[in-house]
Amino acid sequence: MDAIECIRTRKSIRGFKPDPVSTEILKKVIEAAQWSPSYKNSQPWEIIVLSGGKKEGLTQILIDLFGRDTPPCPDIPEPGSWPDRENKHIADLYRKRAKVSGIDLGDPEVLKKAKIANFNFYRAPHVIYLFQEASLPLWSLFDLGLFAQSLMLSAHAHGLGTVPQAFATDYARDIKKFLGIPETKRLVLGISIGYPDPESPANSFRTDRAEMGDIARWVE
C-alpha cells in the first residue's frame, strides 16, 4: 500500500490472532521505524519486544497489582483533566463507542475490564515497550512519539495490527524491574502487536477525526 493509504487505514486493533509474528518480520517493522526523524538525529528511543512466557509473566504481575488496588505509578502521569476542545473529542468517542459496541468507558466497572484487557495486551502474541533516558528533554518525548507512529505504520504495511497502550505503563517501577530496565529510564508506552482477528467484535469500531476547519487556519 502507498503511504497515504497506510496512514488513513491504520487503526487501533484490540482483537488479535494467537499466531506469533516471525522475528524476521518484526525486525523489518522495527528497522523501518528507525528512520523516524529526531532532534539533531539524537534517536532517543529504546525498545523491548516481549513474547511467550515472559509476556504472560508480566501480565500476571500487572493483574495481581491491579487486583490488590495498588496505586498506579506511571513514569508519565495520566492527565487529570483536559481543555474543553480536547475533552469534547473524548466525550464524543465515549458516546459513539457506547452506541456502536455497548462499551461505556465512563462506567467504572467497564473501565476496570478495559484495564484488565490492557494488562492482557489484548491477547496479542507480542508487546513492544518503548522507553528512553529519563533525563532527556521534552523534545525527546516528541521524537519517541514519531518513532511510535512509524512503528505502527510499518506494522500495518506488513499486515500487522497494533494498539498503543498508556495503561500498560501503569506500574512502571514493577515493569522495569521485571524487564531489567534501569530506573534511570522512563517507560513511555506499550504497543501490542500481532495479526488482526477480522472476526473480533473489538475491531469493528473505528474512531473518526475532526473536520479540517476545526484544526487548520490558512494565512496568506
What domains are defined for the chain?
3-78+119-200 (3.40.109.10)
* DSSP classification of residue 12: B
The count of other CB atoms within 10 Å of the CB of residue 170 is 23
Output the pLDDT for position 102: 67
Cα(220)–Cα(215) distance, integer angstroms: 17
Q: Angle 217-218-220 (CA atoms, 0-180°, nearest 5)? A: 145
Q: Regarding beta strands 161-165 and 46-51, do their DSSP bridges make them parallel or antiparallel, or are they unpaired?
A: unpaired
The count of other CB atoms within 10 Å of the CB of residue 102 is 9
Distance of CA 171 to the CA centre of its chain: 15
Handedness of CA 144, 19, 207, 95 (dihedral sign): negative
- Length of the chain, in residues: 220
Output the pLDDT for position 101: 66
pTM above 0.85, yes or no: yes
Output the pLDDT for position 183: 96
Output the pLDDT for position 100: 67
Output the pLDDT for position 220: 95
Output the pLDDT for position 8: 96
Cα-flanking dihedrals φ and ψ of residue 106, to 5°? Answer: -80, -10
Output the pLDDT for position 132: 98
Q: Which residues pair with 47 in a beta bridge?
A: 130
Along the 220 residues of the chain, how does pLDDT read in single tens digits? 899 999 999 999 999 999 999 999 999 999 999 999 999 999 999 999 999 999 999 999 999 999 999 999 999 999 889 999 999 998 888 888 777 666 776 777 888 888 999 999 999 999 999 999 999 999 999 999 999 999 999 999 999 999 999 999 999 999 999 999 999 999 999 999 999 999 998 888 888 899 999 999 999 9
Cα-flanking dihedrals φ and ψ of residue 138, to 5°? Answer: -60, -30
Q: Comparing C-alpha atoms, which of 145, 136, 143 is closest to residue 189? A: 145
